[in-house]
Amino acid sequence: MSHDAQDEALLAAARAARQRAFAPYSGFLVGAAVRAADGRVFTGCNVEVASYSLTCCAERVAVFKAVSEGATELVACAVVADMSPPASPCGACRQVLYDFGADMSLLLENVQGELRRLPLKLLLPDAFEPAQVLQAVKAHHGA
Ligand code: THU
């Protein structure tokens, strides 16, 4: 599949996932789809719960689905919502995305079809680095 066709497929997956958003409290529907280095695609939608703060964003649902299926290296993430300019992942999701794809591309689209492409790194400069955490933990344990 060409690069553009791959991205279009990822956006289509995110659009479809948005239809499954469970957002009875906010009414704000979000769909996400991540593409793994091996080409597999995993989708997510926001899942709201009655105890509001336990809600999970669409992006994190997609990442955790991927990781739980063994896809720990992610190369792109599409997010679709009804917001202009297109919704950008929240801070918590940026870090989760970073852990599994520091170099990933983001494709942010709204229901009007506006599309913004940018590298995740642009949204999370000076990130908390998983490799440095591993190093620090090892040092503390004298390994
Ligand atoms: N939400 C996402 O799913 N992704 C984001 O990047 C921002 C916010 C969800 C959480 C909640 O269900 C609703 O949007 C309103 O904040």
Assess whether the previous peptide bond of 85 is cis (omega < 30° from 0): yes
Kindly report the protein residue whose alpha carbon is nearest to atom 4 of ligand 1.
57
**Mean pLDDT for the stretch of residues 92-115:** 98
DSSP state of 84: S
**Mean pLDDT for the stretch of residues 37-49:** 98
How many other CB atoms sit within 10 Å of the CB of residue 37?
13
* Token digits of residue 77: 């993430």
- For residue 141, what pLDDT band results from cuts at 50, 70 and 90? confident
Pocket of ligand 1 (CB under 6 A): 23, 26, 28, 30, 46, 48, 55, 57-59, 87, 89-90, 93
CA 94–ligand 1 middle distance (angstroms):
12
CA 48–ligand 1 middle distance (angstroms):
9
Q: Is the pLDDT assigned to residue 87 strictly greater than 70? A: yes
Separation between Cα atoms, residue 72 and residue 85, nearest integer Å: 30
Place of tokens 């919502």: 81
